[in-house]
Structure 1
Amino acid sequence: MDRSGEKIRELAVRGATGAIVVAVVLGALYAGGRAWTLLVSVLSILSLSEFYGMVSRKFKVSKGVGFIAAILILFTASDGIHPISLVLTLCIASFVILFLEIARRELRGESYAIWNMGGTMAGILYIVIPWTFMILLRRLPSGGILLFTMFLCTWSCDVAAYLIGSRWGRIRLCENVSPKKTWEGFIGGLSASVLAGVSVAYILETQPMPFIYVGLICGIAGQIGDLAESVIKRETGVKDSGKLIPGHGGILDRFDSVLVSGLLVYVIFGVILR
């Protein structure tokens, strides 16, 4: 009885915090402009902080350099990403880390140049750049609808994958990465994601193919993105990336799927089909 009550309370907390997250994201997405840029920037920096917290369990990372580089990249996104500025920011950050390791080696007789530069820059590439492209995606003529569809497909995928995997899951998907994930759950999540995309197209009475593309991206790449964070957590020995969202873990835990999905949606609709 106690376990049952505890499970109910856990689900209630998870549902309540999940609803708050959905409301905040959709509200900022609807408002667009500075509201969306601000939310994305906050989520990006918090996720980066969680990533550095995990990575620093294994080796040293220059968090300050990483945060400064992240802020510069997000700030420049307010006027659109300039490739030269982006490359310069990444290169300068890399050299600053190397200079710091030179000083560490000279003063302490030890250095972590390869690990420090790799871990610090990985956070920028894995988290900050994808979120930055989601700022740019919102500015496309149909960016608001595309982002709404992406989040709807992602959430539909997550829920369906969990429910179907828990009920009918038998064949393990990646047992050494995420033991509870199954192929049945993966297929169920993919199906729900595509269905969500088609539903948006039906409601808007428009061509379904762009929304099917989004559904496929979220259903396949989104679930792979979730596994990607699981690999990081396995290697760093943590269960959750953080504790900021009760019942869900950290910011990165909640938004890991949209990192790769947002990047791919922007590439397709902001670059290839533009």
Structure 2
Amino acid sequence: MASFVEIDRYNLIPLSLSSLCACPCLPMSNKIIILNQRRYSKFNLRIVFDGSKTMFRVRQSGVSCDRRFVAAVVRTKPDRLDEDDAKEELDKGNNLPVIEDSISERQEKASQLKKRIVFGLGIGISSGGIVLAGGWVFTLAFAAVVFVGAREYFELVRSRGITAGMTPPPRYVSRVCSVICALMPILTLYFGQIDVSVTSAAFIVAMALLLQRGNPRFAQLSSTMFGLFYCGYLPCFWVKLRCGLAAPALNTRIGSAWPIFLGGQAHWTVGLVATLISISSIIAADTFAFLGGKAFGRTQLTSISPKKTWEGTIVGLGGCIATSIALSRIFCWPTSLLSAIAFGFLNFVGSIFGDLTESMIKRDAGVKDSGSLIPGHGGILDRVDSYIFTGALAYSFVKTFLPLYGI
């Protein structure tokens, strides 16, 4: 394989034609090198080699060649043209990495979008089946999600970004709190309420922190108590909403056609309908807010999440309320239009502030995602942050403000 070497910008040394070649076996002719009378201060010399041995050598006294010499070409150009070509070649070389990076970036974004769609559909279908099943199926699956979310939260608390300004709780306390958070939904389903269990768990954890070796810090207590509240207590309201509101939704037409072996009409309770409307409204809020922000977003909503805009938030609110009204007409619950609008508004408020709360935690932790469990989506907290506060608001609204649960 021939090797090519370019020698650039050598000053031209006037030589006689007879001194160009000292090799008697291959005399040089006037046609090999042709130079114009115009002087060129610089020229490029391309030398062709055979294998790894030099076939053309430049010496101080002249030019000599071997028997294996193949060809030597002197290419001269004016100084301006040489500089222009060098600049053009340099620009071409610099543009190649940019083009390659742009192509790889587009491919990576397409791959990420594909992952998000595939896993998003999988999560949506499986979650819908779990919500329809209800009971222990819903509660155990929910407890598993709460456990993973609690682990992610305490890992965020222990990250460098947050620990730079505080002392994190010991690792064994974080693990115990994650288990306690996972047990809270189960205790909620079994006992019907969670107040005593949460109070007892908080007291035990506080004692463990205060009696630990070393110097206990308030930051440890505050981050742990908030973890129990944020990852354990608040999610339990979804269990109370789905499984605790067992009053039948009598006006729901889907319930009358529901198969008997799947529970019949009695399976369609106020809790099931309220849960489906609430989850669907949150999904609509996130989707419409994203699309509205892409299309009309100009004014930043808050510095906590720079990508969120007021325009996207307004579009998301409209989509959330519209979804709540549409589903209330389909399920015939709640029967009042004003109640459906208020229910959609509460779902949106809970979702937006849940999202901002998790964004604040991640910002202080200095990370983009809470984890990497779900390809293309990040961690569990990244997917359920909009639902953490919403369950409590939805349950309180149906239980307290809707007469006869909106039937």
Alignment identity in percent? Answer: 31
| Partner residue, 1:134 | 238
Aligned with 2:300 (options 125, 148, 172):
172
**By percentage of residues, which structure has more helix?**
1
- SS of the equivalent of 2:372 reads coil
- SS of the equivalent of 1:81 reads coil
How big is the shift at 1:166?
1.3
Instruction: Please show how residues 88-127 of structure 1 align to structure 2 within 5 Å.
Output: 88-100=200-212, 104-105=213-214, 111-127=215-231
- SS of the equivalent of 2:234 reads helix
Aligned with 1:201 (options 328, 340, 346):
328
**Match of 1:190, as an amino acid?**
L
TM-score w.r.t. structure 1 length? 0.91
Instruction: Please show how residues 1-274 of structure 1 align to structure 2 within 5 Å.
Output: 1-57=103-159, 58=163, 59-61=167-169, 62-79=173-190, 80-100=192-212, 104-105=213-214, 111-139=215-243, 140=245, 141=247, 142-174=270-302, 176-206=303-333, 207=335, 208-273=337-402
Stretches of structure 1 lacking an aligned partner (at least 5 in a row)? 106-110
How big is the shift at 1:272?
4.5
**Match of 1:75, as an amino acid?**
I
Q: Deviations over 1:108-166 (max 9, x none)?
A: xxx24312211112111012112111111112131111111111011111111111101
8 A Cα contact 1:194 1:212, kept in partner: yes
8 A Cα contact 1:73 1:89, kept in partner: no
TM-score w.r.t. structure 2 length? 0.62
**Match of 1:138, as an amino acid?**
R
Are the structure 2 counterparts of residues 113 and 75 from structure 1 closer, same or farther at C-alpha, using a change threshold of 3 Å? farther
Q: 1: CA distance between counterparts of 2:325 and 2:235?
A: 25
How big is the shift at 1:247?
1.2
Are the structure 2 counterparts of residues 68 and 94 from structure 1 closer, same or farther at C-alpha, using a change threshold of 3 Å? farther
8 A Cα contact 1:218 1:257, kept in partner: no
Q: 2: CA distance between counterparts of 1:240 and 1:178?
A: 13
8 A Cα contact 1:13 1:246, kept in partner: yes
- SS of the equivalent of 2:388 reads helix
How big is the shift at 1:20?
1.1
Tell me the C-alpha RMSD between the 2 structures.
1.6
**Match of 2:356, as an amino acid?**
L
Q: 1: CA distance between counterparts of 2:359 and 2:194?
A: 32
Number of positions where the alignment pairs a residue of Structure 1 with one of Structure 2: 265
8 A Cα contact 2:144 2:182, kept in partner: no
8 A Cα contact 1:50 1:252, kept in partner: yes
- SS of the equivalent of 1:244 reads coil
How big is the shift at 1:24?
1.6
- SS of the equivalent of 2:374 reads coil
Are the structure 2 counterparts of residues 235 and 143 from structure 1 closer, same or farther at C-alpha, using a change threshold of 3 Å? same
Indicate the larger mover: 251-260 or 62-71.
Answer: 62-71
| Partner residue, 1:108 | none
Q: 2: CA distance between counterparts of 1:255 and 1:179?
A: 20
8 A Cα contact 1:44 1:127, kept in partner: yes
| Partner residue, 2:47 | none
Are the structure 2 counterparts of residues 195 and 163 from structure 1 closer, same or farther at C-alpha, using a change threshold of 3 Å? same
Stretches of structure 2 lacking an aligned partner (at least 5 in a row)? 1-102, 248-269
Q: Deviations over 1:78-120 (max 9, x none)?
A: 22124333322221221122112xxx21xxxxx2431221111
- SS of the equivalent of 1:241 reads coil
How big is the shift at 1:271?
4.1
**By percentage of residues, which structure has more strand?**
2
Q: 1: CA distance between counterparts of 2:377 and 2:141?
A: 19
- SS of the equivalent of 1:45 reads helix
- SS of the equivalent of 1:242 reads coil
8 A Cα contact 1:69 1:90, kept in partner: no
8 A Cα contact 2:347 2:393, kept in partner: no
**Which structure: larger Rg?**
2
Are the structure 2 counterparts of residues 36 and 243 from structure 1 closer, same or farther at C-alpha, using a change threshold of 3 Å? same
- SS of the equivalent of 1:119 reads helix
8 A Cα contact 1:69 1:93, kept in partner: no
